[in-house]
Structure 1
Amino acid sequence: MLLKTFGWSFAVTAGGLALAGVLWGWKGLAIVGILSILEISLSFDNAVINAGILRKMNAFWQKIFLTIGILIAVFGMRLVFPILIVTITAKMGPIEAIDLAINDKEQYEHLVTAAHPSIAAFGGMFLLMIFLDFIFEERDIKWLAWIERPLAKLGKLETLSIVVALGALLFTASTFAEDVAHGGGDKSATVLLSGVAGLLTYLVVGGISGYFEGKLEEEDEAEEESGEDGAEAAKKPGGPTVVGLAGKAAFFLFLYLEVIDASFSFDGVIGAFAITNDIFEMALGLGIGAMYIRSLTVFLVNKGTLDDYVYLEHGAHYAIGSLAVLLLVTIKYEINEVITGGLGVALIGLSYWSSVVRNRREAAANSGKEVSSGV
């Protein structure tokens, strides 16, 4: 099970480290290894969130996530995205941007770093919406009930998450964006525009995927109400409860997953410049880390971990909320990646331990009931 799930990750790691050693020597090998660990630590919560979405999809789309999705994650976000940012912000051609990345690494790093306010605003707003829609939703299982219960009641007000997110964006633009740490000057207009773009992206992609998902669920319920036996209906091809979502619903969920991955990767790409400004070392190191995150996502789905440890999704969403806030704060202030990654790991660790305690408590309670009934 472990080798089957992580086999490709192990192979990519061995090949990637060997390539780094050949191309850049021991120093390059160390840099690629450090970047891999950085990516895994920063994106562990991403794997939990992805698993919650991926388990809704059928086997075909899960394979697409591991193949096409990893190509987008590695080459798209870790290699092409920084070059695209330089192309847009510096208003130069892609060939010129690639030449700059290879031959003038310091200037390339400067241009990518200068684009940080717009990147952070887009990613921060997208992730903030994920967190707000989760925390404002009424759900049976609550982790921090003293927070989640009153917020779920407030969440009955429609569009509340949008209002809160826009309020956070306005606050960010009027405070953190007035004198930014990266690039200098007033970036209020840039932050507002990028933040609204992140919000719209969430609403469009998430809304469309939710629409198709809901439509499939309605069709499934209609089939059951028409007189089919529930167990037989679940076995039908395309039944979303067993084989998972397919078609348009799965496609838009796949897009949603890719945007989530992109938002998580922003801080990793920017933080990688603290270790190296070589675009190929960066892509290789972060790409290896991204492979493990993908494999971990599939492992969580196959093992049913989210069903066994019910607070993990809560912890991951709290980690998303904290990352969103930190991204917005980094528009003005430098925040070490250790803090960003460590906070997410800590929240997921706490939610995992809470799940273990809950499972033990329920097991003890059920054992007591069995003893009582036996007497």
Structure 2
Amino acid sequence: MLLKTFRWAFAVTVLGLVLGVLYEGWTALGFVAILAVLEISLSFDNAVVNAGVLKKMNAFWQKIFLTVGVLIAVFGMRLLFPVVVVAVTAKKTPYEAVNLALTDKDRYQQLVTDAHPAIAAFGGMFLLMIFLDFIFEERDIQWLAWLERPLSKLSKVDMLSVCLALAVLLITSSTFATQAHQHGGTHVDKAQTVLVSGVAGLITYLVVGGLSGYFENRLEEEDETESDAKSAVLLAGRAAFFMFLYLEVLDASFSFDGVIGAFAITNDIVLMALGLGMGAMYVRSLTVYLVRQGTLDEYVYLEHGAHYAIGALAVILMVTIQYEINEVITGLVGVVLIAWSFWSSVRRNQEPAMTEPEPETLTVP
């Protein structure tokens, strides 16, 4: 099972390492390997959250997620995304941006770094909404009951998560964004940029998540009535499609810190695409493995830990608008929270099952 699920990840690893050596010699081998490890460590919580969504989709869409989704993740976010950012912020054509990335790597890195406030605001707001909607939702299983129980009672307040997210965005834009760190040690006012990007991230979450939830609810209604099998299949396709879009945007939000952090290792976009792409493939394979093994059902607190890691990453992204935070710290926060939730799940599974009382029998006089 393990080999079958990760076989494509292993194949991509071999191919990526070979291409790295052919592209820039044996020195590239270390860069590509380090970047792959960086991506895996930063995105492990992404795999857990993805698994919670992917288990609702059938085998066909799971395969689409592992194939087409990987192409989008590798070539879209790890290769094209930085180029698009440079093209938009520097007002250059895509061709000029690619040429700049290959010929003047330092200038290319500078432009991507300068665009970080906008990237962090978009990704931070998207991830923050995921965390807030999770923490305010009523659920039977609670990990940190002392925190989750009182917060779940607030779920009846309409649009609470949206209001809190907008409040965080306003505070960020009026504090961190007004003193955003710019390449070269200077500081500039990025308040408007952060506001616009943050609102865009919020709208993206509401639109994609809303459509996904809408079609999922329609599918459940069709399953209950069983009135039209053909209609139910069509709705399943729509629901899965929007879930797929949701997963892709989620992956994009998680990849922001990985792409930016990769520049601390190398500013070569080819090596970045190879290394981060390899890591993304392992994250995708891990997601499918968690679904097929039923790991989230066995270790019930894992999903909680992953969402807390998402909340922490959202805060970190917003803080990095002004302050630099080492990627090791970002990765460790997620790993610690997930490891803690896993340990809590193991302890819960080891607790002796409560014996149910025998039903009372009525005696007839």
TM-score when scaled to structure 1? 0.92
Residue 10 of structure 1 corresponds to 10
- CA deviation string 1:290-338 (max 9, x = no partner): 0000000000000000000000000000000000000000000000000
Residue 201 of structure 2 corresponds to 198
2:207 equivalent to 1:187: no
SS at 1:246 equivalent: helix
Residue 326 of structure 1 corresponds to 316
Letter in 2 for 1:263: S
SS at 1:80 equivalent: helix
2:305 equivalent to 1:315: yes
Residue 243 of structure 2 corresponds to 253
- CA deviation string 1:232-287 (max 9, x = no partner): x9xx89979xxx98311000000000000000000000000000000000000000
1:344 to 309, 331, 334: 334
Gaps of 5+ in 2: 358-365
* Distance in 2 of aligned mates of 1:143 and 1:237: 40
Residue 229 of structure 1 corresponds to none
Q: 1:238 to 1:33 in 2, by over 3 A?
A: farther
The aligned runs of 1:291-310 (5 Å cut-off) are 291-310=281-300
CA contact (8 A) 2:45 2:306 kept: yes
1:335 to 325, 333, 338: 325
* Distance in 2 of aligned mates of 1:23 and 1:203: 42
CA contact (8 A) 1:58 1:246 kept: no
- CA deviation string 1:5-33 (max 9, x = no partner): 00000111111112212322222100000
2:204 equivalent to 1:216: no
- CA deviation string 1:186-229 (max 9, x = no partner): 00000000000000000000000100000110111223xx8xxx
Aligned length: 355
Letter in 1 for 2:38: L
SS at 1:65 equivalent: helix
CA contact (8 A) 2:218 2:235 kept: no
- CA deviation string 1:150-192 (max 9, x = no partner): 1111121010000000000000000000111135310000000
What's the RMSD between the two structures over aligned residues?
1.9
Q: CA deviation at 1:369?
A: 6.5
* Distance in 2 of aligned mates of 1:32 and 1:280: 10
CA contact (8 A) 1:48 1:316 kept: yes
Residue 58 of structure 2 corresponds to 58
Residue 279 of structure 1 corresponds to 269
Letter in 2 for 1:111: L
Following TM superposition, the consecutive aligned residue runs of length 4 or more in structure 1 with deviations greater than 6 angstroms are 236-240
* Distance in 2 of aligned mates of 1:61 and 1:191: 35
SS at 1:178 equivalent: helix
Q: Structure 1 residues 180-189 or 42-51, which shifts more? A: 180-189
The aligned runs of 1:22-171 (5 Å cut-off) are 22-171=22-171
CA contact (8 A) 2:222 2:232 kept: no
CA contact (8 A) 1:58 1:245 kept: no
Letter in 1 for 2:225: A
Q: CA deviation at 1:51?
A: 0.3
* Distance in 2 of aligned mates of 1:149 and 1:239: 36
